[in-house]
Structure 1
Amino acid sequence: MSEVLIYGAAGYTGRICAEGFVEAGLRPILGGRQDAVRGLAARLDLRSSIFDLSDPREIERRLQGVRLLLNLSGQFLTTQKLLIEACLVSGVHYVDLAGEVADTSHAFTFDERARLANIMIMPGVGFNVAPSDIAAGIAKARLPDANELVIALATEGGVSRGTLRGMLAHIEQTGHRRVGGALVPARPAESELEFQVAGKKFRAVYDPWVGDLFTAGISTGIPNISTYSVFPGLAVAMMRGRLLWLRDLIQDHLMPLLPEGSSARQLREGRTYVLAIASNGKAQVRVALTGPEAYRFTVLCLREITRAVLAGRWSPGFQTPALYGRALLEGIEGVKWDEE
């Protein structure tokens, strides 16, 4: 019997995750509320488990025999609560792809109960948190008295409809910055940052929604954290409150016409760039890396964390990917460190 259940397997990330797991010799159960899951499971010769989240007892029943639940179903503020509650009752470890402050901090509210249930809860295991959280942890270890952390991300490749839909929904809304250990309001694109990784130069804007603002606060204890990402020019304009008519047009009419996600070529050739800079006012430490395309990087992070959990390498309660440190990324093909 499989020990891993992927919930949300019908989505773009769920599909490429299932395919990647099979390539790596893993045999997960594919779960979700759509019949499309059955077709994917049949194609990959995997078991399927079709259920929605309306009945807590049914969720618990579906978790029988499962050791690890991977939640790849969006709207994490909703799906987290229902699935984590079932994992607490069933003694099942839980990870998800939550990548924003609201949903990573929501997962933290289950910390004490997860410790008592002796299970691990780890949100943010995809590209948008995992490698940067690990890089931040390394930087903190090298500069233990660091009091400021800057994280910057850049990607080359495509974007899924789900990611685009989520981003456009709040693209001009106020987010956060971590100041003195507290999350304070910050506007999207309120400042810019030029940075360089592996010889490539980038211009990023302030990204106030990134889950690192919460997770890195937990994993490093650094009180002041800022997060930057590289966005296309049109997105930056929307972040600053302009061209919102275009946002509405994409959301209301154009979304179904866009590609489901990255193309096969983008998955193969795309790259990601991660930078974490820790400083204490006198010195600074820079930790940078490049990795595979963002969605592929996400699948590979999921794969390595799954292997770690099944091998018994986990800690109870709320954890961040920094728990696994550099060793996690060393097991991922295509990751290269940009070290000074």
Structure 2
Amino acid sequence: MRAVTFDRLGGPEVLQVVDLPEPEPGPGEVAVAVDWVGVNFADAKARSVGYRVDTLPFHPGLEVSGTVRALGEDVTGLTVGQHVFAMLNGKGYAETAIAPAATTFAVPDALDLRDAAALGTVLATGYALVHDVARLREGETVLVQGAAGGVGTVTGQLARAAGAGRVLGVVSRPEKAAYAKEFGYDEILVGEDFDEQARAATDGRGVDVALDPVGGESWNRSIAALARFGRAVSFGNASDAAPWSAGMADLAGRGLSVSAFSILGLGAADPARLRLLTERAFREAERAGITIPVTGEFPLERAGEAHALLEGRSSTGKLLLKLH
């Protein structure tokens, strides 16, 4: 089978397509004939700086959709020929992927395989941020960094469906603002001073919830944008800044709360909880009509182009690899 790998860290050019033996599932695993692969910033970080890379060569890819080809021992609830979405620990950029049965999900009838690959991880992430980590309450104001990206476009819609009073998005470039506005946002803020813009947009009060995947100065400004008793959630560090910290002196004056979330961390530590979360997220997508635009499709041989587009901060929506 064909698969994408890299044997050294570096730019998108280190990705290469190789021929590998067809893998077979072990106990508790599923072999998926892959139709679509989601391209995530974590894939690019693995390639560039070794994020979650234990050894080289490494095979990237954290989410796929396709058809069950074979089942390992002790796998129940799935059948050969079934359409599924799977979250992986890597090796998703391939014609066949081996996935843990615990994080392989039947695709709802309302979604095709392309939709499933586009929505899967970003939908579960957004749902967890809104409902389980930030615990949004009806009428509250939400601020979402990266509003034009995959998680951002979904999270704006999820916050709206959950009863948010106002949903504010942040984008890095003015040309992304009109695009992001289509996905549940009342107002799009542009530029590094988004904390000041958020306070102006809320008559000086600030926001109840701030969701930040960037880290560094963006994280500091997200906290500055909070209203009294506000909650900030970090779910990434795209800036590669030093890890953030906050003590009582930073938070007590306004009664602030800070927390963090990683969909990969949840999958590794508690796959049963990830399954419950993802199933709920798919149901909410069906109920509320949550969508995400696929703005780029690439064959395996052009995976490097997808990475370059993602890292250039010029992409919007979701990027996919198409295998058939």
Give the TM-score taking structure 2 as reference length.
0.35
Q: Report which structure shows greater RCO (CA 8 Å, sep ≥6).
A: 1
Give the TM-score taking structure 1 as reference length.
0.34
Structure number with higher helix proportion: 1
